[in-house]
Structure 1
Amino acid sequence: METISFDGFLKVELRVGRVLSAEPFAQARKPAYILHVDFGPELGVRKSSAQITVHYTPEELVGRLVVAVVNFPHKQIGPLMSECLVTGFHDADGAVALCVPDRDVPLGTRLL
C-alpha cells in the first residue's frame, strides 16, 4: 500500500450529499444508475453514474445521504457527464455497498 501525506489527503474533497433522483442508466456497459445528488448551496446538484444496482433500487436511493469525491475532473460516461464520484465498498461478492454517514449532517459537509 502506498502511503500519502496528510496534505495529500486534504486535496481530496469528500463531501456529503443527498440523492434527489436515481434512474437506470440504460446506456451503461455495466448495470448502473444515474444519480442526481444535492451537495447544498455551495456545490449544488451534481450527476454521477453509480454501479450500485445489486443492493439498491432507485426508490431506496432517493433521500439517502452519500459520500462523494467532488473535485475530480468531470468524466464522460457514455451520454452522461459525471460530475462526482459516489463512494462505496465491494462486498464479498464484488457488489458495491455505499459509504454513508451514520447520522444526518448538513449537505456539503466535508469528510475529515
Structure 2
Amino acid sequence: MTHVVTDACVLCKYTDCVDVCPVDCFHEGPNTLVINPNECIDCAVCVPECPTEAIFAEEDVPADQQEYIVLNAELSQRWPTITRSRDPLPDADKWKDVKNKIIHLIK
C-alpha cells in the first residue's frame, strides 16, 4: 500500500511532511505535492505532519477524491523529488479549508 496526497494540498503546499519522510517519496509540482507509490513504504509518519490533513492511506482516500490515487502515480513520474521543507504558497492559509480544488491543480 501507499499514501496519497489529496485535494487539501492544492494551492497550499505545506511541506511539513517532507522532512519526516524516510524514503524521499514526495514530489513537488507548481501548487501541490504528490507521493510516488513505488517509493512510499507506507510508514504513515507524514500523515500527522500535514496541517491540512491532505494525506491518506490509499485505502482510506475519500470517495470524492479517488482520482488523486492516479494523479499521484502519474505526476510523481514527472515532477522532481522534494527532500526538504519549504515555505508554503503565499495564500496557503486562505486556501487550506477550501474544498474541491482539483480545478486549480497545475499539472
Shorter-normalised TM range: under 0.3
The structure with the greater share of residues assigned to helix is 2
Task: State the structure with more CA Rg.
Answer: 1
Higher relative contact order (CA 8 A, sep 6+): 2
The structure with the greater share of residues assigned to strand is 1
